Amino acid sequence: MATAMTARTITLTAVALAAAAVAVSGCSARPGTDAQQPSGPTWSTQATSPSPTSGSRLVLPPVSPITPSPGRVGTPSTVPPAPPAPDTSTATFADPVVVARAWMTQWCAMDYREPINHNVERASVFATPAGKAADLAAGDSPATYRSVVEQKLTNRCDKVTAEVSPEAPHGPNQVYVVLTADRTQLAADTPFQVLPVITTRSVIRQADGRWLVDVHVEAG
The dihedral through the CA atoms of 103, 105, 108, 113 has a sign that is negative
Q: How confident is the model at residue 1 (pLDDT cuts 50, 70, 90)?
A: very low
Nearest-angstrom CA–CA distance, 134 and 128: 10
pLDDT, one tens digit per residue, over 78-122 is 899 999 999 999 999 999 999 999 999 999 999 999 999 999 999
Instruction: Tell me the β-bridge partners of 196.
Output: 182
Nearest-angstrom CA–CA distance, 50 and 197: 24
Residue % of the chain over a pLDDT of 70? 64
Residues in Cβ contact with 78 at an 8 Å cutoff, skipping those fewer than 6 apart: none
Statement: residue 138 has pLDDT above 60: yes
Nearest to 135 by CA among 205, 34, 22: 34
Residues in Cβ contact with 211 at an 8 Å cutoff, skipping those fewer than 6 apart: 93, 94, 95, 96, 99, 203, 204, 205
Nearest-angstrom CA–CA distance, 142 and 153: 15
Domain boundaries, the chain: 12-219
Q: What is the pLDDT of residue 216?
A: 95
Is residue 57 helix, strand or coil? coil
Nearest to 150 by CA among 188, 185, 177: 188
Q: What is the pLDDT of residue 54?
A: 33
Q: What is the pLDDT of residue 102?
A: 98
Ranges of H-type helices in the chain: 15-22, 52-56, 90-93, 96-107, 118-123, 129-137, 142-151
